[in-house]
Structures are given as structure tokens and as C-alpha cells.
Amino acid sequence: MGLFEQISLNTIISKPINVTIIVSIVLTLAFFISLRPVLRKYLKDRKVNRSIQRLGSQYLKQVILPDGVGGSVFLDYLILAQNAIILIILKNFRGSIFCADNIEQWTQLIGNKSYKFPNILRQLDSDISSISSLVKGVEVTGLVVFSSDCEFPKGKPEQVKSIMELTTKEVDQQLHSEKLLNAWYTLKEKAENHLSTQSFADGYFKDKDVPTNYSLPVILFLVLVSWLVWRINFAT
């Protein structure tokens, strides 16, 4: 039996085309395995985006608007909801989050390590004030939305939500008031015409909480292509 297996293996690897196919399959499998974290992040982001977008009939993502005092306000999402305009601050955190309305520092606990970060509701209140100054007479509210990878052992403020808590009810645009629609179109126009430093905007919206390394998939893809090109040239 061992001699038969040895002969069969020698027969297989003695043919260049078989070696090409085997190595190509191994490299292809390694390439797709290395892509799993990237694909997982893509699917997670897609689910988060769809959940947030369903809060309203229209939305703007990664929008930059004037803050009314000569600066800019950066919003992860701006949603046209049924009776209001909703600002969304999105946080892709994991672990346990300890937060409350009236404490200055919130805490993220991952295993035995803890990390302090500023009370995000302060930023949310500032953003709401800035947008309210641009569209007077309509309700402007906001939410801080955390990803599904975190939990709140001690509870959380009303304006803090997990992505799992967001409603999936569709919003009927026909029920928007004329004043609300006019305010929304005003914000869209200001977002299109507002000038801001692009490099700063790119840095603000970059997802620092969920880093993704594309080096290994790129290297494996280049190795696979190089291998196939070399084998084709070698064979001819």
C-alpha cells in the first residue's frame, strides 16, 4: 500500500501540469482564507449601514456641513426620518461599555484592559446645535450607535443605541412635512457646496476602531499571479 501511494505521488508530481494545478489550488485557498477578516468586516459594515439607513427615507453618509461659527461639523450619517432630522455618530467598539449622561469619561473594557474616552453625548449635543442653527423650525435629534460587538453591563443613556436596537420599519416619504423636506434639501445643498480640508475629513471618517490589514491578501495574490505566469512561460 505504501509503495502504491509512493508511486502514485511520484506519478502526479512528475507531470508539470499537475504541479501547477496543485500549487495554484493551495495558493488560491490561502488567498481566500486571508480574505476572511476583510470579507467579515465588509459584511458587518454592510449590515450596519442598512440598519442605520432604514431609520429614514433618505440619508447622507460621511457628510461635512458648516457649523455656523466658521468651522465644519463632521457627521457619520444624517437621516431624514419621519418627523425629524437625525444625526448619527457611529462607533465600531467592542467589549463592555460603561457610560452615563453626566460623567465626563466613558470606559471601554476589553478583557482585563480598560480604555477611557470622552462622553460622546457632548459631541452629539454640539453637532445637534450646529445643524439646528442651519435649519430652524424643524426638529433635529441624534443618536450614538455602537456596533453589535459591545455590551452595556450597567445600562446606557437613552440616546445611546446598539445597532441591534435600531428599527427596520420603512419610512414613508409622502408623510414628511413640507418644512421638513425643505430643511433636508437645504442641508443637502450646504453639504454639496461647503468647502473643507479634504485630508482632515479623510482622517476623521477613517475607521480607526476596526483596523484592516490588506497586506497578506495582496502578497498572496501577487505570488499566485507570478507563479501562474512563470509556469505558463516555463511550460512553453
- Say if 87 falls within a structural domain: yes
pLDDT, tens only, 159-175: 999 888 886 555 566 67
Count structural domains, the chain.
1
Place of cell 433618505: 58
pLDDT, tens only, 22-57: 767 776 777 677 677 777 777 777 877 888 888 888
Distance (Å) of CA 163 to CA 20, 27, 54, 171: 47, 37, 12, 18
- Say if 160 falls within a structural domain: yes
Helices of type H across 86-214: 120-134, 178-193, 198-205
All residues at 6 or more sequence positions from 88 whose CB lies less than 8 Å from its CB, including other chains: 52, 55, 75, 76, 77, 78, 79, 142, 143, 145
The boundaries of the domain holding residue 182 are 53-205
- Say if 21 falls within a structural domain: no
pTM over 0.75: no
Check which CATH number belongs to the domain holding 133 and give it. 3.40.1350
Q: Sign of dihedral through CA atoms 194, 198, 200, 202?
A: positive
Residue 168 exposed, middle or buried by CB count within 10 Å (0-12, 13-18, 19+): exposed
- Say if 27 falls within a structural domain: no
